[in-house]
Structure 1
Amino acid sequence: MKHYSFFLIIIFFNSCQFFDKQSPSEKELLQKELKSINWKEVDEYPSFVDCNQIEGKVERQKCFFQFLTELIQEKIRIDTLSTLYPELDTIEVKVTIYPNSRIQFEPLFPKDSVAYDRVKIDSILRRRLVGFPKVNPAIKRGIPVKTQFILPVILKVE
């Protein structure tokens, strides 16, 4: 009987060490969680209403980019960019979508951009790229976030 009580006392003292361990602080847990998040990807891409009913993340993303590219091309096609710069067949546009659904466009110029009047092209794009349908911003962990991407926009469609 003496052996059992001695054994139980040893187990009791050894098990008390489990209670002495400090649990991580909220700050440590937050830092660990922040490091585990992939900030380069979103849970849901931006979307237009027409693309919302499409199932699947990849298909909805394709719909969004195709719809946006077609809208930009349609709005620019009616302007004088192709007349002013007949050699310019494609322009890259940096698109920023803010959490409040605001869209901003910024033309990116080719390396030989000396041949192009940046101010004139930027002015034309800013004047034409307005009046877009409401866009739902990208979502990361349930929160709307800002996203940026570069779209190649074809000016000459033959």
Structure 2
Amino acid sequence: MKKTLLFVFLLSLTSCEYFETRKVTSEEILSEETKELNWQEVDQYPAFEECREVLESDAAKACFGNKVASYFYARLESKQPVVTEALNDTLYLYLKISEKGIPAIDSMEVDSLVVAQLPEIRSWLTQSVDSLPKIYPATKRGIPVVTTFKMPIVIQAE
């Protein structure tokens, strides 16, 4: 009897708030989850068919970047441009991949000397982007997202 009385006494000293459960709204869960996410990184980078099996993040990014670069260089070489002065410059192409995997040029940083020697460089790059093979979009938590890549393109002509 003493043990039961002692248990009841100790139970009465504890607060009922220890036994209450707090109701958490979906807005609170979403708010906490949003704070924890790194919105500057994606879970899976955009990919061509050949790069879809690459799971490691840096390797997948490199695979995508290398495929785009080699495709651009092949397209530019096929144009057989003629220049009056030697060129050795780097232009920067900001390539945007939509959540549907549609590539587009967001912007370009092209030196005026390159434009003077190759006046059609912008249209050539636009044509190259328009004819890229199917791209699977980047994902964040399984949801397709928009990504933008800064792609250096080295222009060398003699």
TM-score greater than 0.5 by the shorter chain: yes
* Alignment partner, residue 87 of structure 1: 87
1:53/1:128 Cα in 2 relative to 1: closer, same or farther (>3 Å)? closer
Confirm or deny: 8 A CA contact 2:86 2:157 kept in the other structure: no
Following superposition, the deviation at residue 125 of structure 1 comes to: 2.3
Map 1:54-133 → 2, pairs under 5 A:
54-79=54-79, 83=83, 86-87=86-87, 89-110=89-110, 113=112, 116=115, 120-133=120-133
Bigger shift: 90-99 or 22-31?
A: 22-31
Instruction: Report the identity percentage.
Output: 28
Confirm or deny: 8 A CA contact 2:93 2:151 kept in the other structure: yes
Following superposition, the deviation at residue 145 of structure 1 comes to: 0.8
CA distance in 2, matches of 1:55, 1:21: 41
Provide Cα deviations, 1:10-44, integer angstroms capped at 9, x if missing partner.
41562522244533322111100011011111111
How many residues were matched structurally?
A: 157
Q: Does 1:154 align with 2:147?
A: no
Unaligned ranges ≥5, structure 2: none
* Alignment partner, residue 45 of structure 2: 45
TM-score (norm. length: structure 1) = 0.79
1:17/1:129 Cα in 2 relative to 1: closer, same or farther (>3 Å)? closer
1:82/1:51 Cα in 2 relative to 1: closer, same or farther (>3 Å)? farther
CA distance in 2, matches of 1:129, 1:83: 23
Confirm or deny: 8 A CA contact 2:96 2:146 kept in the other structure: yes
1:82/1:30 Cα in 2 relative to 1: closer, same or farther (>3 Å)? farther
Following superposition, the deviation at residue 106 of structure 1 comes to: 4.0
TM-score (norm. length: structure 2) = 0.79
1:113/1:106 Cα in 2 relative to 1: closer, same or farther (>3 Å)? farther
* Alignment partner, residue 144 of structure 2: 144
CA distance in 1, matches of 2:102, 2:50: 18
